[in-house]
Every structure is written in C-alpha cells, then in structure tokens.
Structure 1
Amino acid sequence: MGLLDDCQELFGSSDLYEVLGVKRSSSETEVRRGYYKNSLKVHPDRAPEDQQATARFQTLGKAYAVLSDAEQRAVYDEQGIIDEESDSLKQERDWDEYWRLLFPKISLQDVRHFESTYRGSEEERLHLLRLYGDCGGDITRIMDAAVCAGPEDEPRIRSILQEAIDDGDLPALRAFTHESDTKKAARKRKADTERAQSERLKEELSLEGDGRQTAIKRRGAARQSDFCSLIGRLEEKYSRKKPAAGRKTKKQQ
C-alpha cells in the first residue's frame, strides 16, 4: 500500500491536510504545528508496544514530509498524487529520528527566555491582532488562544487591541466593544476557578508519593493545550533545518 492508502486505513481519510488537522490554505508553519500536535498523541515514547500508534506516527511523518516540500505539495495540491519513491518517503527511514531533528528538546531556560522576550513584543502584538480577527473580537476566545497569557493579562491585552482599533489597524467589532456583563462574569468565574485549582495543585505538589504523582499528571493534562501552543512557537526558534525531501512525482500505486 502507498501513503494515501495508509492514511485512509489509519486516519479514515486519504487527504493529507485532514490527517495533519490543517487547512489546504495553511502556511508552512501551520502545517508544521499540525504535525507536531498530532504526532505528540502517538509518539513511540508514549506507547512503544502499540504497533498501530507507531504506524500512525510514521504515517504522520510521511504526510508532513510531503506537505513540507514546496514542489511535492504543489503537485499534490494540483493532481492529488505523491512520489512514493522520493527520498523523503523511504521505508527504511527512522521516523523517530526525523521527528527529533525537527523538534529537538527545549529546555526550561528556553521557555523562560521566550516568555520574557515575547510578552510586550511586536510579535505578541501582531499575534493578538490576528487572533482578534480569527475570534471575531470575542475576548474570551482571544484569551484562551493567546500565548503566555493568563487572566491577569486581560487588561493589558484589551489595551493593546483597543489601541489598534483607535489607530485604525483593527475594526471595532461589537463582540469586543459591547461585551455583555454575562460573558464578563462567566470569564471571571472561570479565572477564579483556575486560580483556585492552581493553589490546590501547589499544595498537592508538596505531597509525597502517589499524591504528588497524581498532582503532576493532572497539572500536565490541564496545561497540555497551552503547552502545544507555546511549543509551536518555540520550535520555530530552536529547531534545526528540516531534512531535504525528494523532488520526483509519481502516481499513487
């Protein structure tokens, strides 16, 4: 079987974009993030004995290898075919090594450095302006999607967006300018709940044995979404140059 057959069998779709969870119009960076997020779910380190997970991981790598190559992606977009004999799809390729080359381990120091340089930067401002449009001015959705931002950052983020509106860089969307008291109250309740949970986790993390391990697992699960969003930006800064891909095109067998 070829790659498209594998995609259909393992993911229920032969569309490489659907397999990676991205749109056909997605940028190279967005395709890369889609690969990262989906491959985390089936990485061999999570379930080394699960053969289907390993097969899904390898197939995700192949799908990304095709879409990350400009020429192969163009041919796939235009004709729906891929080159099964290209260097990027070699059967003997170590897909775990390929993944680690793309996404080298990022240290806590890297994370802290990113946060310190990102907050208040032009990069953050442009990201918030884009989120404003994507979220239709809904501040709740903007806060959920913003990187390195907690409830305490809302006044600062509101100020950034309002300044952009005043300067004519953004339209004055009603969802932002006339938010209902009900939505504000709901967001405050959510922030208060998260704050209380954070305090409980801090207490639990001081426990010994099983209690501590349970707290760590819950904390990791709760922050997985935020981590993926942050890591997507960090890997752009610290990842190595991606491996070269083949150039030939050949119809799926």
Structure 2
Amino acid sequence: MGLIELCEKYFKTSNLYEVLGITEKATDKEVKKAYHKLSLKVHPDRVDENEKLEATEKFKVLGSIHTILSDPNKRALYDETKSVDDDDYNVIVDRDWTIYWRMLFKKITDEDIKAYEKEYVGSEQEKNDLKVAYLSGKGDMDYICDQVQFARSDQESRIRGILSGMIENGEIPPYKIFTNEPARKRKRRWAKENREAKEAEELKNELGLGSGCLFTENNSLELMIKQKQQSRAQQMDSFIDDLAAKYGGDKKATKRKAAPKTETKSKRKK
C-alpha cells in the first residue's frame, strides 16, 4: 500500500498537508512543528499497549510525510502532481522512524527553558497572552497566573503594570477583582506556588529524576503534571511542543541541572 492510500486509511485524507493540519503555504518551521505535534499523539512510546500497532503505522506515515514536505524538491513535485513516488516511499518506509524523530527533536534542557523565558517575557506574545487571560478570567490573577507562561509571584508586579496600562488605555475593562484584589487572596496564591515547588521537588526525588534530568515530551515534567495536575496536561503538551519545535535539532545541547522555580512553573501550567 502506498503513502497516499495509507493517509486515507489512517487520517481520512489523501492530502499530505491536511494530514498535518497545515496549508500548502506553510513554512518549513510550521511543517516541522505540525509534524512534531501530531507525531506526539501517535508516538509508540506514548500510547497504550493495545494501540501500539496502529500508532506505529501512523508514526511511519507521518515521518514519511515530513521527509517529503521538508525536502524542497520532493515538496515541489508533490505540490505540482499531488502524488508520491511509491518506489521512493517503499525505500524509506522501513527506516527507523524513532531515530529520525529523535534527530529532529532533541531533549529540552533547563538552558532551553531559560532561553525561551528570556525571549517570551516582555514580548508582544506575552502581552497578548496576558490580555486574553485577563479577559477570560475576568481579571482573576489566580487564573492569569495559571494560564500565562512564567507568571510567577516574582513577576506579579510587572504583570500588573502591563495590565494596568491596558486598563488605562481602554484595551481591557477594570475588573474589581483585579484592581482591588484582597490581600488574603494574593497570599493564598503565593502559598500555593510555594507548596507546588515543594511537591515538585519531592516528586522528582521519588521518581529518581536527579540533577541531570532533562525535560522531554514524556519525561519528568509531564509525568509530574499528569500525576499531580491531570487537567493541565494539555497545557504542558503545548508548551513542550513549542520548545521542541523551537530548539529541536541542536546537537550541541548538554545536560543542565533543572532550576526548581522554572520547573515548578512548568509543572503548574505549561
């Protein structure tokens, strides 16, 4: 069975772009990110035992699609003909796609998270995320801190300044819960953050995730979230997707000790 037929079988479409959920105008970076996000859902190491067989086949199909859409010549040919050379596909279908995947998406270190935080904090993306969280949570700082990346207690003064500026400019309404937040509510939030920091450290030790642990798609941080805060697992997946797509493929990465604060905030919501 050829690649197009397998796409129809497993993903109900013969269009390679539709399988990944992107358009033909997608950039190389967008192709890689879409492949990573979808491949995580069917990665043989991330599914139940009774789903492994089908997941493995889907994983092969997605890898094959990525090799085509990430190659300028193969992609141009597919765009023109909407067909795939099955002889070529039969050659690559038997490769070890797990190795291929790991070459594309390296493990995420604490250094990567710090670099991402440095770029994110103060950016337009952060401001937009704060605005969306503020409106969705109607000014509730507990909600904002849960939804926005790196919104720790040591960042609250800066975050409040950004949102207060938006209120002054008329971008967002002045919800009373934000403008006059009770001191006891703020103290409860800070206590919760400190408690989660302690829980994260204790759980890391219980799981044997020592100082050299790395943050991977199915490693320490996600495991902590799924065990302690199941409802936030999808947020963690999204955060890891962004990091892996952004920093994937760097072979110079070295192990770093995970900083408790960064790890904790990742555990809380990302």
Q: 1:148 to 1:201 in 2, by over 3 A?
A: closer
Corresponding letter in the other structure for 2:247:
K
Q: Residue 243 of structure 2 corresponds to which residue in structure 1?
A: 233
Unaligned runs of 5+ in 1: 165-171, 242-253
Matches within 5 A, 1:133-144: 138-140=132-134
- Give me the whole-angstrom Cα distance separating, in 1, the residues matched to 2:77 and 2:164: 43
2:9 aligns with 9
The secondary structure found in structure 2 opposite 1:74 is helix
Q: How do residues 71-220 of structure 1 correspond to structure 2 at under 5 angstroms?
A: 71-86=73-88, 90-107=92-109, 109-120=110-121, 125=123, 127-128=125-126, 138-140=132-134, 147-149=149-151, 156=158, 177-179=171-173, 181=175, 199=195, 203=199, 206=202, 217-219=226-228
**d(CA) in 2 for partners of 1:23 and 1:152?**
40
SS in structure 2 at match of 1:32: helix
Distance in 1, Cα, partners of 2:159 & 2:87: 49
Distance 1:13 1:179 in 2: 45
Query: Alpha-carbon deviation of 1:3?
Result: 0.9
- Deviation digits for residues 147-196 of structure 1 (CA, Å, limit 9, x no counterpart): 545698687468669999xxxxxxx9x8xx144749979xxx9xx89x85
- Aligned partners of 1:205 and 1:215 also within 8 Å: no
CA–CA distance in structure 2, aligned partners of residues 162 and 86 of structure 1 = 58
Check conservation: 1:114, 1:234, Cα contact below 8 A.
no
Number of residues of Structure 1 aligned to a counterpart in Structure 2:
217
How far apart are 1:220 and its partner, in Å? 6.6
TM (normalized to structure 2)? 0.58
1:38 counterpart letter in structure 2: L
How does the TM-score come out when normalised to structure 1?
Answer: 0.61
Distance 1:102 1:209 in 2: 31
User: How far apart, CA to CA, are the structure 1 residues paired with 2:63 and 2:177?
Assistant: 41
Match of 2:54 in 1: 52
Q: Equivalent pairs: percent with the same residue? A: 30
Q: Aligned pair in 2 of structure 1 residues 3, 44: CA closer, same or farther (>3 Å)?
A: same
Shift of the 228–215 alpha-carbon distance from structure 1 to 2, 3 Å rule, reads: closer
Shift of 1:87: 7.2
On the 8 A contact 2:20/2:38 being kept in 1, the answer is yes
Structure number with greater CO (CA < 8 Å, separation at least 6) is 1
